[in-house]
Structure 1
Amino acid sequence: MKKTRNHPVALPFLFLSEMWERFGFYLILGIFQLYLTDTAKGGWGMDRATAADIFGTFIAFVYLTPFLGGLIADRKLGYSKSIIIGGILMGIGYIGLSVHNLTVFYSSLALICIGNGFFKPNISTLLGNVYNDDQYRSRKDTGYNIFYMGINIGAFICNFFAAFLRNSIGWGAAFIAAGIGMFLGVIIFSIGLKHYKHADVRKPVQDGDMPLSKIFSIVFLPAIVVGLGAWFIPGNIFGSDSTDAFIFACIPILLFFVSLLVKADTKDRRPMAALLSIFAVSIVFWAVFKQNGTALTTWAQYYTDREIPAVIDQPAQKLYLVESVMNKPDSITAYDQEFRIIRDAAGKPVKVWAKPVYFNNMAPEKMPAEGQSISLFNTELFQSINPFFVITLTPLIVLLFALLRKRNKEPSTPTKIAMGLLISALSTLMMVGAVYVCSNGTIKASPWWLIGCYGIITVGELFLSPMGLSLVSKLSPARITSLMMGGWFLATSIGNKLSGILATLWDTYDNKANYFLVNFLLLGGAAAVIFLMLRWLNRIFKEHVH
């Protein structure tokens, strides 16, 4: 018996399942580079470029596997079973990262990548399906925005858990907490199964659909072979073995999507072309946005004034949410002027007798007396700024679009995406300003520059990311909805890898303003392209969305 309600009863279960899954995932991302580069408290002691390359490759494969996971769910497993399998694999992977062994480390990353492939596209598709009932269809965009807010509640709270656990116990405890969060999400999803059982319908194979076995043989097998071949090519073409392998492995998959477009009938070809065009420009957004875990983490760690205001110092210390640094010499890892680890001939970090690196670019008037300590915000807490803005701004954005809808002035979904790219481009100029104000890192910048950057790009994100998921659900031919959702995540994957490539170049820019200007040009160019396509995209949108 149907009840009159604004949103389906399935929404809170999917909301909470995704919230706890993202709690684990973003906890990992918030401390990933810090853990890889740490030399003092049990981290891996890698250089920043290597850490950025691993980070970019990991988050790339995390979003590449949904292509496969969406396909298997569409044809074989169904969405609910795929989500549960994926959640369990990710939970095991998160906990595995607590083991300080390189083989276990990479195996755990692989489990997370595979698990996310089963979980991520299918919970998004299931959400879209429950909104396909006539009474909810008009609120699909709002539903995705609410769902996206759930993602960011998990992303917001996780960094406080990470700071508390790594300060009070160690890195391993933080990784175990991520796994517990993931398993909690699986339990909540399982409890709510009855509310989305009707939406968990596998699509029948139709004439012209490629059999799953054929997709494996002509897409994934070539991708694996080509990727492995690129890995073992002597030297590097694109900077590292992992980058070579990833880029070449993507080629057969990209060709597969092109073949889907070419073979589609007239009815499906135009909406598919529109989707693929939006996928292409969204790559640039993710290439810049995902630098929050690399370049912006570096900026927060070494270039930002992280000193805690006296009024909250004592409570924060009691909650283990602070790092304490003492202004006196000690045996520490040596850093150069660019805050890169200095290594000996064997590649091991050099130890020197000096003050903590935080004081290297501290303004003289803020320097504590010799022997005194100051309390600093943990670097990963800056990763909670973006989800905080998502949580606070989402209701305002939803309200804005609701008011515009009442006046029949709501922008189309493609227009929202175009506006999101343009707004995001402006965020990089905030960091250009930060570089000039702090004399290119000679002194520390105010944290408000980073907060402002995150605030602006969050508005762009809210216009683009949930709208992208919604657009796939609206325009995709019904039998390949999950597959096209996988295409959206493939675009995200490529952008994520590019973010890692861009971040590896951080140390090659003497003037960090130029680094951020490159990001501005990338986003500005992508915005220009989509605005040029906007009339065509809106025409297709009106033709296929009712």
Structure 2
Amino acid sequence: MTSTKTLPEFENLWGHPKPLWMLFMAEFWERFAFYGIRWALTLYIVAQFFNGDTSGQSFASNTYGSYLALVYASAIFGGYIADKVIGSQHSILVGAVIMGCGLFLIMLPDETFFMIGLATVIVGNGLFKPNISNLVGKIYAADDHRRDSGFSIFYMGINAGAMVSPIITQWLASTLTDTPMMDNYKAVFGAAGVGMLISYVWFYIGRRQLKGIGSVAKTPLRTKNLVTVVLGALVSIIPVYILITYAGAQVLAWILFALFIGLAFILLKQTKNDGKVAFERVIACLIMFVFNVIFFMFFEQAGSSFTFLAQNIVDRSITEVVEFKIAWFQSVNSVAILIFAPLVSALWVFMHKKKVEPSIPRKFALGLLGTGLGFLVLVYALENLLDANNMIPIWPLAACYVLHTIGELCLSPIGLSMVSKLVPASLAGFAFGGWFLSTAIGNNFSGILAGSMSGETGMTVASALSGFTFSFWLLTLGGALLFIIGPKINKLMHGVK
């Protein structure tokens, strides 16, 4: 729903349309907020609501997984609202305000208010996240060869925010040394709320660069729709709170599965009359969504099982007086993104010129295999590198994050670009919601897996070894399968590369 029917002329900046860099920074600050609390959530739940007892790790992991799942599942509704009701620009602005309010709410030291705050963040993120990605796709023509590299640059914005936020928020928590650690985490949540407000202001001022893309003409109907969406978003916080608090990860898995089936049905029905090519492209997109579930089931161990591994089984001593902070592991992924994203992007361009660039399915397969290799490093460390205190060195976990990063670069930015290419523009926001819904299902499974590794007594070497071995084999088998069937999926894409 844009007021401009044809793509406007954009001034180029550093080889790309100028609005890309505005969207880059708006996403930077939103990711600063999102990842600023990522490392602290499970630790805060155990410290605040279980008095630091390791028996709370399983609950914390399941809550974290459910929270992430609903964050991404809400994107399906946010994408639909943008496409059909108020446009991407207003969806982003409303979502930013709601998400900021939720981040300030979780500072309150009460479990009920904490869960309401998480529910508020979920609703706001659903309006924000799919629509800013959708705008990136809309500033490029359909046949613009820069689209993939543009999404890779945008992905660097995501990870630049994710890199600095754990460092800054860990520093804030560390400087409040005269208070209990659960109070220190509140400074983390407050800093994330400020970051979200900056994202709102940045996008509000910079959206003029979009020249009407993602906007809806100002009419009484738009005002009415906007009020309706705001009220509906506030009311929806209640069922989201109920889901995250009372449904449980297993029930949520069935709900998300039903949503995915419903989304697939709508996409297929909407494109059935558009011809065989459009219909089969959507089928290919849905198949790739399934493999995205597998990827994020294991990639998102970063905020749950990896956090408890870092806390309890990794010797984080660098010197006798210097310790590698738990939050810093979250930045390893982002630093690696900033190092490797330009290299991977350049590799795809080089291989394209040589006519040997892997297809989208095989790039996904490489992503799964790379992530599986990261778990193999942890399995090796847990079997061979334990010291007298049953601790492993820092480097295996850091290496795992780097390998997961390389896997991520082969999959996530390619997936965003894939959706923008395969799905008709009229359903793009809804389809981006579907991409994030598949991510949600994977995230929910990640919480269930992490919770099983912690069990009733907390993570042990044996439980970590068992869980990470399972992770390696499932990722490896999934990657091998996708590599084999990749050519068949590629046929369904009808020339989309």
Into which bin does the TM-score normalised by the smaller protein fall?
A: 0.7 to 0.9
Distance in 2 of aligned mates of 1:41 and 1:49:
11
Displacement after TM superposition at 1:52 (Å): 0.5
Question: 1:250 is matched with which residue?
Answer: 256
Question: 2:232 is matched with which residue?
Answer: none
What secondary structure does 2:407 align onto?
Answer: helix
Q: 1:201 to 1:163 in 2, by over 3 A?
A: closer
Residues 1:194 and 2:198 aligned together = no
- Per the normalisation by structure 1, the TM-score is 0.78
State whether residues 227 and 249 of structure 1, in contact with CA within 8 Å, keep that contact through their aligned partners in structure 2.
Answer: no
Residues 1:156 and 2:170 aligned together = no
How many residues end up aligned between the 2 structures? 453
Distance in 2 of aligned mates of 1:41 and 1:56:
18
Residues 1:259 and 2:265 aligned together = yes
Question: 2:331 is matched with which residue?
Answer: 384
What secondary structure does 1:127 align onto?
Answer: helix
Displacement after TM superposition at 1:507 (Å): 3.2
Q: Where does 1:85-484 land on structure 2 (aligned, <5 Å)?
A: 85-132=94-141, 137-169=144-176, 170-200=184-214, 241-263=247-269, 264-265=272-273, 266-267=275-276, 268-309=278-319, 374-439=321-386, 442-484=389-431
- Post-superposition CA distance 1:92-124 (Å, at most 9, x none): 111111111122111110110000100000000
State whether residues 282 and 492 of structure 1, in contact with CA within 8 Å, keep that contact through their aligned partners in structure 2.
Answer: yes
Displacement after TM superposition at 1:228 (Å): 7.4
- Post-superposition CA distance 1:152-175 (Å, at most 9, x none): 111111111111111223221111
State whether residues 66 and 244 of structure 2, in contact with CA within 8 Å, keep that contact through their aligned partners in structure 1.
Answer: no
% identity of equivalent residues: 34
Letter in 2 for 1:246: L
Distance in 1 of aligned mates of 2:267 and 2:428:
14
State whether residues 11 and 17 of structure 2, in contact with CA within 8 Å, keep that contact through their aligned partners in structure 1.
Answer: no
Q: 1:84 to 1:44 in 2, by over 3 A?
A: farther
Q: 1:89 to 1:231 in 2, by over 3 A?
A: closer
Distance in 2 of aligned mates of 1:466 and 1:230:
28
State whether residues 74 and 202 of structure 1, in contact with CA within 8 Å, keep that contact through their aligned partners in structure 2.
Answer: no
- Post-superposition CA distance 1:328-347 (Å, at most 9, x none): xxxxxxxxxxxxxxxxxxxx
Question: 1:518 is matched with which residue?
Answer: 470
Question: 1:57 is matched with which residue?
Answer: 66
Question: 1:494 is matched with which residue?
Answer: 441
Unaligned runs of at least 5 residues, structure 2: 1-8, 177-183, 218-237
What secondary structure does 1:256 align onto?
Answer: helix
Name the structure where helix makes up a greater proportion of residues.
2
Distance in 2 of aligned mates of 1:4 and 1:147:
15
Distance in 2 of aligned mates of 1:20 and 1:150:
9
Question: 1:539 is matched with which residue?
Answer: 491
What secondary structure does 1:38 align onto?
Answer: helix
Distance in 2 of aligned mates of 1:418 and 1:484:
21
Displacement after TM superposition at 1:415 (Å): 2.1
State whether residues 34 and 192 of structure 2, in contact with CA within 8 Å, keep that contact through their aligned partners in structure 1.
Answer: yes
What secondary structure does 2:475 align onto?
Answer: helix
- Post-superposition CA distance 1:115-148 (Å, at most 9, x none): 01000000000110001266xx211110111111
State whether residues 227 and 248 of structure 1, in contact with CA within 8 Å, keep that contact through their aligned partners in structure 2.
Answer: no
Higher Cα Rg, which structure: 1
State whether residues 33 and 193 of structure 2, in contact with CA within 8 Å, keep that contact through their aligned partners in structure 1.
Answer: yes
Residues 1:527 and 2:479 aligned together = yes
Q: 1:478 to 1:202 in 2, by over 3 A?
A: farther
RMSD of equivalent CA atoms: 2.7
Report which stretch shifted further, 5-14 or 490-499. 5-14
Q: Where does 1:62-73 land on structure 2 (aligned, <5 Å)?
A: 62-73=71-82
Q: Where does 1:11-22 land on structure 2 (aligned, <5 Å)?
A: 11-22=20-31
Q: 1:92 to 1:230 in 2, by over 3 A?
A: closer
Question: 2:56 is matched with which residue?
Answer: 47
Question: 1:333 is matched with which residue?
Answer: none
Distance in 1 of aligned mates of 2:152 and 2:322:
37
Report which stretch shifted further, 54-63 or 527-536. 527-536
What secondary structure does 2:301 align onto?
Answer: helix
Displacement after TM superposition at 1:522 (Å): 1.7
Displacement after TM superposition at 1:75 (Å): 0.2
Report which stretch shifted further, 501-510 or 183-192. 501-510
